[in-house]
Amino acid sequence: MRKTIAKEAILKTINESDTALSQAEIQAILPDGLCNRVTIYRVLDRLVEEKSVHQITNIDGVVKYANCHSCSTEHKHDHIHFNCEKCNVVTCIEDVEPTFKLPSNYQINQLNFMVSGVCPDCLAS
């Protein structure tokens, strides 16, 4: 995908966030009039395809997007995603990699480990 103002702004927004963001959250952060909802979805789809970001479905079924912190040559996202039940923020917990074993006749195309509970910020308040 060619570099566009919208693509660069959306990628910058995701990369600067400590948490995963939904399309609506990204749109709220971007300057007014930069791009519409459809353009944001198209850019997000392309960024996922290019493996610049990864998507997570939270416990409410909302798709959120996070940057690829630890992807260099191998694209993998087998870390845990933590969904706070109070503030609904989704955070990548990259230093925890769950393990599991599937029967040999299954092929894995995508993993999504979601853990829900209460985040440190909500526990403190």
Pairing of strands 63-67, 53-57: antiparallel
Region of poorest pLDDT, from 3-12, 14-23, 94-103: 94-103
pTM above 0.75, yes or no: no
Domain boundaries, the chain: 5-124
Q: Which residue has the higher pLDDT, 60 or 75?
A: 60
Distance CA 41, CA 55 (A): 12
- pLDDT band with cut points at 50, 70 and 90 for residue 73: very low
Distance CA 90, CA 53 (A): 14
Q: Is 20 helix (H, G, I), strand (E, B) or coil?
A: strand
Mean pLDDT to the nearest integer, 86-93: 86
What is the pLDDT at residue 77? Answer: 57
Q: Which of 50, 101, 104 is nearest to 75 (CA)?
A: 50
Distance CA 47, CA 10 (A): 9
Sheet containing 53-57: give its strands across.
21-22, 63-67, 53-57
Pick the CATH number of 5-124 from 1.10.10.10, 3.40.50.300, 3.50.50.60, 3.40.50.720: 1.10.10.10
